[in-house]
Amino acid sequence: MSAIAVLLMNSARADEGMWLLPLIEKLNIDKMHEMGFKLSAEDIYGINNSSIKDAVVIFGGGCTGELISDKGLILTNHHCGYGEIQALSTMEHNYLEDGFWAATLDDELPAPGLAVTFMKRMEEVTDKILEGVTDAMSFDDRNKKILENRTAIIKEAQEGNSYKISVYSFFEGNRYFMVVYEVFNDVRFVGAPPSSIGKFGYDTDNWMWPRHTGDFSMFRVYADANGKPAEYSPSNVPYKPAHHLPISLKGYEKEDFAMTIGYPGSTNRYLTSWGIEERTDIQNHALIKVRGAKQEIWSEAMNADEKIKLQYASKYARSSNYWKNSIGMNRGIAALNVLEKKRAIEKDFAERTKNNAEYADVLQKLANGYAKRAGSFHASIFLRETLWGGTEILQFSQNATELEKAIEAGVQQKIDEAVKALRETATQFFKDYSASTDQKVLAAMLRLYAGEVSTEYLPEVYANISKKYKNDYAKYASYVFAKSMFASENALNAFLAKPSLKKLQADPAFTAGKTILAKSKQLSEAGAAPMMEIATGNRLFLKGLMETHPEKVYYSDANFTMRASYGKVGNYEPRDAVVYEHFTTLKGVMEKEDADNFEFIVPAKLKELYATKNYGRYAANDGEIHVCFTSNNDITGGNSGSPVINARGELFGLAFDGNWEAMSGDIAFEPELQKCINVDIRYVLFIIDKYAGATNLINEMTIVE
Specify whether the CB–CB gap between 647 and 635 falls below 8 A: no
- Report the 10 Å Cβ neighbour count for 255: 12
Whole-number Å distance between alpha carbons of 648 and 652: 10
Q: What is the pLDDT of residue 575?
A: 86
- Report the 10 Å Cβ neighbour count for 699: 10
Whole-number Å distance between alpha carbons of 348 and 157: 42
Q: What is the pLDDT of residue 574?
A: 87
Question: Can you name the residues that pair with 517 across neighbouring β-strands?
Answer: none
pLDDT of 9 strictly over 60: no
At 356, give phi and psi (nearest 5°): -110, 110
pLDDT (tens digit, 9 = 90+) per residue, 18-40?
A: 999 999 999 999 999 999 999 99
Decide if 215 is catalytic.
yes
Which residue among the candidates 11, 640, 642, 664 is catalytic per the annotation?
640
pLDDT (tens digit, 9 = 90+) per residue, 348-381?
A: 999 999 999 999 999 999 999 999 999 999 999 9
Domain 18-115+185-267+558-704 belongs in CATH node 2.130.10.10: no
- H runs (alpha helix) in 336-361: 338-352
Which residue among the candidates 15, 54, 205, 215 is catalytic per the annotation?
215
Q: What is the pLDDT of residue 5?
A: 38
Confidence of residue 591 (pLDDT cuts 50, 70, 90): very high
pLDDT of 470 strictly over 50: yes
- H runs (alpha helix) in 178-240: 195-198, 202-205
Confidence of residue 7 (pLDDT cuts 50, 70, 90): very low
Poorest-pLDDT segment among 83-92, 458-467, 669-678? 669-678
Whole-number Å distance between alpha carbons of 84 and 78: 10
Confidence of residue 6 (pLDDT cuts 50, 70, 90): very low
Q: What is the pLDDT of residue 685?
A: 98
At 389, give phi and psi (nearest 5°): -100, -10
pLDDT (tens digit, 9 = 90+) per residue, 243-283?
A: 999 999 999 999 999 999 999 999 999 999 999 999 999 99
Decide if 107 is catalytic.
no
pLDDT (tens digit, 9 = 90+) per residue, 103-157?
A: 999 999 999 999 999 999 999 999 999 999 999 999 999 999 999 999 999 999 9
pLDDT of 2 strictly over 50: no
Specify whether the CB–CB gap between 394 and 453 falls below 8 A: no
Decide if 54 is catalytic.
no
Taking the chain, what is the end-to-end CA distance rounded to the nearest angstrom?
Answer: 48
pLDDT (tens digit, 9 = 90+) per residue, 613-665?
A: 999 999 999 999 999 999 999 999 999 999 999 999 999 999 999 998 888 99
Residues 6+ apart with CB under 8 A from 406: 414, 415, 417, 418
pTM over 0.75: yes
Confidence of residue 670 (pLDDT cuts 50, 70, 90): confident
The packing angle between helices 313-335 and 285-304, to 10°, is 150
Which residue among the candidates 54, 69, 78, 79 is catalytic per the annotation?
79
pLDDT of 436 strictly over 90: yes
**What single-letter amino acid sits at 199?**
K
Whole-number Å distance between alpha carbons of 254 and 256: 6
* Residue 596 Ramachandran class (φ > 0 left, ψ -120 to 50 alpha, else beta): alpha
Q: What is the pLDDT of residue 10?
A: 38
Whole-number Å distance between alpha carbons of 204 and 209: 11
